[in-house]
């Protein structure tokens, strides 16, 4: 069963009781986690309950498919329905679940968390076409969905906000649902007991030193060729619990935007006009270094770096090597070879 985007949130909080397994996937890792946790909490209160929550490894399940039936049929020592959670689910599990659905056992709720699975994904096909299963896509909040999310979150905390503040937040949040909610909570804490609407100045003062901008600063450091700033912001991002995939994707988005801008400039489009086509718009603090990078980097060099970033993300998911090490190594290589880097 394929869950429509408009019903995804409500379904994750109250899934159909006939559903045995649910695949939650997409490019927004924070939203994948949020909906996965919502599903889990429909069965158990404590995600760490050792008797009712079981975590299975994608690779282990691929090697021993019977694990899924064994765990689904198991009964909790303390009573109650169980949850089976599988992270980093891949197409390698498509046949495993196709077989399971042909002869399902037990009443456990199986939750699979996947990455940005493509439309041709075999695992997606199994979950989208099976009556006992459901697939929930988690795409990044955009200019259409983000304003509603921001207003709802702010209003739930008892605040309102100006249109200027909303515009600023839309331009600087939205790459990850979990991060967006965390930053909005910080903003509400910053506002405190002040009942006046959240202003642009409030938003800039609070969001100006966020994890979002840490990733922006990190991406700018890579494009500028500043190894010292890369190392500083990489450490800071890790301290803010940003994982390797999130960091790689932030740099990838930056280089995709550079590639688009540099390509337009190469065709004779003025820099300011090329930059104005970007959505969301550039944050004013990064506009100057972004333009400088777009002038120095060639489209071919940007394409090569994008290839490295995408390959590293794939390797983080499948090689078994420490993702943080792979991420840092690739970013350092791109930074060291940046055409904007000052060399002695």
pTM score over 0.75: no
CA dist., res. 283 & res. 63, Å (int): 47
Check residue 344 and give its pLDDT.
42
Query: Whose CA is closest to 212, among 246, 167, 163?
Result: 246
Enclosing domain of residue 217: 211-336
173 found inside a domain: yes
Q: Last residue of a domain, which of 165, 186, 207?
A: 207
Collapsed DSSP state (helix, strand, coil) of residue 215: helix
Distant-in-sequence, close-in-space partners of 322: CB < 8 Å, separation ≥ 6: none
Nearest to 53, CA basis, from 65, 42, 61: 42
- Looking up residue 179, the CATH number of its domain turns out to be 1.10.8
My answer on whether 220 and 329 are in the same domain is yes
Identify the segments of the chain with pLDDT beneath 50. 209, 344
The confidence score (pLDDT) of residue 217 equals: 86
Query: How far is the C-alpha of 125 from the C-alpha of 341, rounded, in Å?
Result: 46
> Which of the listed residues 86, 117, 137 is the one where a domain comes to its end?
137
| C-beta separation of 89 from 57 below 8 A | no
3-state secondary structure 89-150: ECHHHHHHHHHHHHCCCCCCEEEEEECCCCCCCHHHHHHHHCCCEEEEECCCCCCCCHHHHH
Query: Does residue 224 lie within any of the structural domains?
Result: yes
Q: Are 332 and 226 in contact (CB under 8 A)?
A: no
Could you tell me if residue 343 is inside a domain? no
How many domains is the chain partitioned into structurally? 3
Distances (CA, A) of 56 to 79, 88, 273: 20, 10, 50
How confident is the model at residue 320, as a pLDDT?
66
Question: pLDDT tens for residues 99-158?
Answer: 999 999 999 999 999 988 988 999 999 999 999 999 999 988 877 888 999 999 999 999
Cβ-contact 97, 68 below 8 angstroms: yes
Tell me: do 28 and 121 sit in the same domain.
Answer: yes
Cα–Cα nearest to 290, from 237, 216, 233: 216
Judgement on whether residues 200 and 215 belong to the same structural domain of the protein? no
Sheet strand arrangement including 21-25: 53-57, 83-89, 109-114, 21-25, 133-137
Beta-carbon count within 10 A of 188 CB: 16
238 and 189 part of one domain: no
Upstream peptide bond of 280 is cis (omega within 30 degrees of 0): yes
Angle between helical axes of 227-239 and 211-224 (0-180°, round to 10): 160
Question: What does the pLDDT read at residue 342?
Answer: 61
pLDDT at 208: 57
* 9 and 56 inside one domain: yes
Confirm whether 344 is domain-assigned: no
Q: What's residue 343's pLDDT?
A: 52
Do 153 and 133 share a structural domain?
no
């Amino acid at each position: 069963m394929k869950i429509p985007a408009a019903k995804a949130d409500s379904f994750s909080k109250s899934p159909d009781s006939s559903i045995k397994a649910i695949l939650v996937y997409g490019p927004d890792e924070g939203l994948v986690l949020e909906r996965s946790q919502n599903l889990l909490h429909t069965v158990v209160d404590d995600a760490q309950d050792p008797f009712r929550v079981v975590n299975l490894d994608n690779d282990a399940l691929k090697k021993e498919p019977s694990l899924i039936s064994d765990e689904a049929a198991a009964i909790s020592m303390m009573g109650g329905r169980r949850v089976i959670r599988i992270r980093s689910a891949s197409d390698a599990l498509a046949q495993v679940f196709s077989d399971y659905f042909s002869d399902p056992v037990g009443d456990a709720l199986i939750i699979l968390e996947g990455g940005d699975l493509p439309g041709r994904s075999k695992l997606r096909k199994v979950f989208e076409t099976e009556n006992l299963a459901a697939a929930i896509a988690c795409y990044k909040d955009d200019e259409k969905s983000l304003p509603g999310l921001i207003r709802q979150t702010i209003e739930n905390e008892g605040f309102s906000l100006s249109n200027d503040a909303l515009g600023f937040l839309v331009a600087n949040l939205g790459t990850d649902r979990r991060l967006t909610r965390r930053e909005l909570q910080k903003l509400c804490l910053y506002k405190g007991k002040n009942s006046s609407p959240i202003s642009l100045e409030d938003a800039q003062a609070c969001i100006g030193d966020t994890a979002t901008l840490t990733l922006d600063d990190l991406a700018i450091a890579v494009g500028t060729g500043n190894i010292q700033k890369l190392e500083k912001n990489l450490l800071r991002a890790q301290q803010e619990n940003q994982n390797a995939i999130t960091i790689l994707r932030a740099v990838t988005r930056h280089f995709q935007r550079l590639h688009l801008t540099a390509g337009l400039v190469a065709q004779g489009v003025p820099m300011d006009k090329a930059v104005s086509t970007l959505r969301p718009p550039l944050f004013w603090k990064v506009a100057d270094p972004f333009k400088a990078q777009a002038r120095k980097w060639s489209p071919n060099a940007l394409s090569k770096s994008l290839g490295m970033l995408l390959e590293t993300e794939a390797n983080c998911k499948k090689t078994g090597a420490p993702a943080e090490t792979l991420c840092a190594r690739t970013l350092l290589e791109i930074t060291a070879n940046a055409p904007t880097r000052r060399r002695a």
